[in-house]
Amino acid sequence: MRMEKERSFLIEYGKKLVEQGLTKGTGGNLSMFDRESGLMAITPSGIDFFQIKPEDIVLMDLDGHVVEGDRTPSSEWEMHLLEYKNRQDLDAVIHAHTVWAAVMACLRWPLPAAHYMIAVAGKDVRCAEYASYGTHELAVHALQGMADRKAVFLANHGILTGGASIQEAFNVLVQVEYCCEVYLKAKEVGEPVILPDEEMARMEQKFKTYGQKK
């Protein structure tokens, strides 16, 4: 069985989505990309995250062909694949229906830099144009909306995040969701003060040296 480590990570982080209240039911999907083999491992369509087994994970090539697995891949497989084709900095992608990001997506609002933690995704987070789920159009809109960023809202739908690792993609998801909640609650009281681009650029640089280094 190829990509065993990636399969384990996808199962682990799929459960985390549910355990941390970041998605409901079978909503959402996760993937990881192995650049050496050119294969993407992605969660199957419509299976409870706590029921997914390693053999249920589907492997696909960059042309969108299933090369290993008997399950139907996530309906959003092309949205993941386009990121890997066009983004050399992303080797993991997560799509989820988090509540506060979904609120932003339904309002079709971008998320400005009201909190410095948005810098994990970029200086802000855009909202991509609407398209039906599972379509080529949605995949293209998501790619465009996430250009130079690690997160994008999918209009009237949810959020897509990416990272060099599944851990980073998950952290971006968690932090952006937190920033969405803070921003929307702040707007109930007044108008949030937005940090300037210069400060956000400084934050992006600081995050590169944050945490423990090998």
Catalytic residues: 76
Contact between 191 and 114 under an 8 Å Cβ cutoff? The reply is no
Q: Calculate the CA dihedral of residues 156, 92, 21, 25 and round it to 10 degrees.
A: 70
How far apart, in whole angstroms, are the C-alpha atoms of residue 208 and residue 203?
A: 9
Q: Which positions ≥6 away from 110 have C-beta within 8 Å?
A: 104, 124, 125, 126, 127, 153
| Distance from the Cα of residue 170 to its chain's centroid | 7
Q: Which positions ≥6 away from 188 have C-beta within 8 Å?
A: none
